[in-house]
Structure 1
């Protein structure tokens, strides 16, 4: 029966070797999984860092574009004043060179109300769908916000009286836009980020209005916040 004992011993040895191989395979797989998990975590960490840098670059580019636009507008105004000085044109004709379309309104604001009025990106998009028929009144309303309203907010003597006088003259009214608690239920409708897309949210707490009809052709609403 020695051969039987020898055969059993061989089977036992083989079973031990198989078990050892299985253990080694499991250890190798566990090591591989751990290394793969660590690698994925590192990739995720690098992706987050990349996104942070991209956001910083985007914000810096937006600020650069904003300041460059303000610089160009200021330079244009300086050139206009220099030309007026050379030509001796200081008299006020009482006529305003308002734009002929909503498409031209942003350029008009940059040239005439630079540093006083800033049209947010959402406002620029809204102009493409604007239906209010009295574009001159829109310009005059923006002038009031950029001049009389701004003077009043700065505490300039007589500013409040001049502001109220202008509102009455143009049949405009100013009031709060919506209660802050209600605004929070409307998503981003009454909030904007200024001056860049990554800046804190600003609540559009006021609006200037003309007309009460629910017809966009005859009803003007300008939502804004003051800083």
Structure 2
């Protein structure tokens, strides 16, 4: 039974709750009349290098193109100072534009910020920031940001998806723009030759690539062998500078399948997004695939294009740093005002002029602080979302792996053998897919192993597959303490055994951590003939309870060999 003190405490708590509820109800009408907080959401960033070395002429042409684009959106005529690339302010019923410039012997930076109220949703304003210029003697650069300010608590863009501002296409067409060696193009690239396929494969695997690659494959039975199911031109124009769009013919799609296997390829009308960081052993589900059946309806096509455009925008934020790769307009304006204030001091300006300059700088600093606070709030929200997504993905991955392992155990407990009817691959090009299909949750090929089994000289494919099956069953069970097998020098087949690597052990990076590869399967005969010498280097990952095959089927070259 409860004591009198406990009853009294419960009554007190109830009274507090009643008072809080009453206060909340009383404040609700007042909160409804309060102005809603405006939040900024950064949508995308574009970073590019203007390829011409004639700095002054290139900068002038780039500014002219941007001002022409800005003029069409301004609702009026920009002031003369804007066309002279000087500091200006243009106010036009919400379609406001502001420009600043920093020009010294060492640096020339011109930056504009333009607002454009949303045509359909009240309280939503789109802002574009553009900066052109750079330091003396270097290729001119340009950066752009697209930001939306809104009172909506949960911003959702219900349009066709994020799109790069139109002036980026003009700069790419007239001046030529590139980033990390990739040229900005408003047109998709057709992959229709061995040379094209090699370029595409190298692009997908390029560790310095910061933008996604969208591959739209042509159906095998298509009347026009260069026409995918999605509108490639629309996607290419919308993602210029933040994505690469490629069209693969049935023949060139086969080159991708041959290189990466079916799970990581795209063919027969499907479309796929290859994010930065793609590799031979990437999780195929992280690089989104839309099958031809999903693109058979207008809604399916629209949804897929929207997803691709939004993915390109999200990746542009993830792979650029504000303040280093991209300069915010507020930072450039503040620096410009500071330089102007310093010049006034040096040239002995009057007190009134200095006071005006100081007031202007204070106002700019206040706006800068407000902008940074909004940025910090936005980035914190995005970080929490990404952290939650990553955590959920890890949980799903471990859950699926555990489920596969659990099902295999249930099959064994019932007296059956999980791999009784398994068929072995007949060609090396099918080996990676075979491993993914039949050994999932037990054995996984690392990227080096996946590359090495594409076209090795070793000729006994079935023996290599049977060895991996031994790792998936006998070896793995011993690691889990489910058998008494002694793994050191354990015989697998006649002349084939599992042995410690000894002096040949080495380290690899797996799932962001360093692991030691300390075991290998080897055949006897002491032969180094690559067609007959089998080596399967592997390690045990206790976190996922899987065997990681680091390399196979050839003997690794080391300092000793």
Q: Is TM (by shorter chain) over 0.5?
A: yes
Within-5 A mapping of 1:32-51: 32-39=363-370, 41-42=372-373, 44-45=375-376, 46-47=378-379, 49-51=381-383
Within-5 A mapping of 1:69-148: 97-120=423-446, 122=447, 125-126=450-451, 129-131=454-456, 132-148=458-474
Aligned in 2, Cα 1:174/1:130: closer, same or farther, shift over 3 Å? farther
User: Which residue of structure 2 aligns with residue 169 of structure 1?
Assistant: 494
Matched, 1:192 2:510: yes
C-alpha contact 1:103 1:127 (8 A) present in aligned 2: no
C-alpha contact 2:427 2:461 (8 A) present in aligned 1: yes
- The one-character-per-residue Cα deviations of 1:149-181 (angstroms, maximum 9, x if unpaired) are 1232234454228x745336342342147799x
User: Which residue of structure 1 aligns with residue 28 of structure 2?
Assistant: none
Aligned in 2, Cα 1:44/1:206: closer, same or farther, shift over 3 Å? farther
Which protein has the larger Cα radius of gyration, Structure 1 or Structure 2? 1
Looking at structure 1, the residues matched to 390 and 473 of structure 2 have their Cα atoms a distance apart, in angstroms, of 32
Which of 514, 539, 542 in structure 2 is aligned with 1:224? 539
Which of 1, 22, 27 in structure 1 is aligned with 2:358? 27
Greater than 6 Å deviation, 4+ residue runs: 72-75, 177-180
- The one-character-per-residue Cα deviations of 1:105-138 (angstroms, maximum 9, x if unpaired) are 3453355434322344x26742563513222122
Looking at structure 1, the residues matched to 399 and 483 of structure 2 have their Cα atoms a distance apart, in angstroms, of 31
- Higher normalized contact order (CA 8 Å, seq sep 6+, divided by chain length): 1
Within-5 A mapping of 1:8-23: 19-23=350-354
Aligned in 2, Cα 1:70/1:34: closer, same or farther, shift over 3 Å? same
Please provide the CA RMSD for this pair.
4.4
Q: TM-score, normalised by structure 1?
A: 0.56
Q: Which has the higher strand share?
A: 2
User: Which residue of structure 1 aligns with residue 480 of structure 2?
Assistant: 154
Structure 1: segments with no counterpart, 5+ residues: 1-17, 184-189, 194-199
Q: Which has the higher helix share?
A: 1
Q: CA deviation at 1:148?
A: 1.8
- SS of equivalent to 2:361: helix
Which of 381, 384, 389 in structure 2 is aligned with 1:57? 389
- The one-character-per-residue Cα deviations of 1:86-112 (angstroms, maximum 9, x if unpaired) are xxxx79xx9862112344334533554
- SS of equivalent to 2:444: coil
Looking at structure 2, the residues matched to 147 and 72 of structure 1 have their Cα atoms a distance apart, in angstroms, of 13
Looking at structure 1, the residues matched to 532 and 490 of structure 2 have their Cα atoms a distance apart, in angstroms, of 25
- The one-character-per-residue Cα deviations of 1:30-69 (angstroms, maximum 9, x if unpaired) are 3134224424533552336525533542553465367558
User: Which residue of structure 1 aligns with residue 104 of structure 2?
Assistant: none
Aligned in 2, Cα 1:61/1:152: closer, same or farther, shift over 3 Å? closer
Q: TM-score, normalised by structure 2?
A: 0.27
